[in-house]
Amino acid sequence: MPTVSSEELAAAAGVNSAKLRKDFSYLGSYGTRGVGYDVEYLVYQISRELGLTQDWPVVIVGIGNLGAALANYGGFASRGFRVAALIDADPAMAGKPVAGMPVQHTDDLEKIISENGVSIGVIATPAGAAQQVCDRLVAAGVTSILNFAPTVLSVPEGVDVRKVDLSIELQILAFHEQRKAGEEAAVAEAAAAVVPPVRGAVTNGRKGPDGDMPAVMPA
């Protein structure tokens, strides 16, 4: 049976092994001294704690380019999420298959949520429609929302919203790139400041007590 040590896990995660063992103890997993952790059982314990051992039905509202890409994403099922319905406001989209599922109209949103027991909704609509969609999802019983629309949603207490803003993520990367460029420039400047003059190189031609200094240092 495959096992892994706390040292190996700590090295992979970039944390201290003692802290890792302490964190795992909250899951009820202490491992076996000298042997490590049963990999399969450890994965199960972590998945259970994250709520990933049950089936979570999800609806995606807004089946444009982004919504269709999300519908085709293959990672949901392996993480315990089942796309229960694809919903769009465009009548021309109704019945159109996307990722093997027919798109349903927003007129049926409340019915779809009720019939599928949905508690998680994904909003991939344009910004102008996002709040209205959010309000309808919440009123229908959805308590967790993943928002891809470029706007901030207002929700009542008890409803969780996670906003995914790709432009902000790019801005964060740009900031790190700018900082790295500044650090490299500072290192190069510091290195240039400590390099001694090379014999035979041209000097600045300053005057000395006996007149002009030679423009070239003698070899």
Cβ atoms 36, 1 nearer than 8 A: no
> In degrees rounded to 5, what are phi and psi of residue 160?
-100, 135
Q: Could you tell me which residue, 48 or 170, shows the higher pLDDT?
A: 170
pLDDT in tens, 61-117: 999 999 999 999 988 887 889 999 999 999 999 999 999 999 999 999 999 999 999
Cβ atoms 83, 60 nearer than 8 A: yes
Least trusted range by pLDDT, from 43-47, 64-68, 143-147, 213-217: 213-217
Q: How far apart are CA 145 and CA 167, in angstroms?
A: 19
pLDDT in tens, 171-201: 999 999 999 988 888 888 888 887 665 565 5
Q: Residue 48 pLDDT more than 80? A: no
pLDDT in tens, 80-96: 899 999 999 999 999 99
Structure tokens at 51: 């709520």
Q: How far apart are CA 114 and CA 131, in angstroms?
A: 20
What is this structure's pTM? 0.66
Q: CA-based Rg of the chain, rounded to a whole angstrom? A: 30
Q: Residue 18 pLDDT more than 90? A: no
Q: Residue 219 pLDDT more than 50? A: no
| Interacting residues of 162 by C-beta distance below 8 A, sequence separation 6+ | 144, 145, 146, 147
Q: How many CB atoms lie within 10 A of CB 134?
A: 24
Q: Is residue 23 within a helix (H) or strand (E), and if so which, with residue range? A: helix 17-25
